[in-house]
Amino acid sequence: MTSKFFLGAAIALTLATGAASAETAIATAESTSGQIFVDGDGMSLYTFDKDAPAVSNCYGDCAVKWPPLEAAGGSEPQGEFGIIMRTGGDKQWTYKGMPLYLWVQDQAAGDVTGDGVKGVWHLARP
């Protein structure tokens, strides 16, 4: 069963190419690893151990491989979902203060290939 949480106006995902954005929502979904958060397309969301609450430490090549879950301009924090400002001015969604990311090697909804990468990337869980 999937539950959707619509946050503010809409969550805009900046694709790895930077060429397009898509409106979406954060949802919970069952995966082979249990219940996780996914974007509106069913792509798994992740957290990074090197981040601090309300602070992303994933920039440059890291952010190319782990695209931040970007918040659209009119989005507002809601419940345990917050928004932080990244250097450069982009906004990023957080869950309980921890920034949320996608993983470029996940190719289809339900993929969880980023879980455990380098021991510091983990599926975002409710």
Cα 68 to Cα 15, 94, 102, distances in angstroms: 9, 10, 6
Sign of the Cα torsion 99, 11, 66, 47 reads positive
Give me the pLDDT at residue 74, please.
Answer: 86
In this prediction the pTM is 0.82
Q: Using CA atoms, how far apart are residues 110 and 9, in angstroms rounded to an integer?
A: 25
Percent of the chain with pLDDT over 90: 75
Q: How far is CA 12 from CA 54, 64, 69, in A?
A: 19, 16, 7
More confident residue, 27 or 7: 27
- Average the pLDDT over 70-76 and give the result: 88
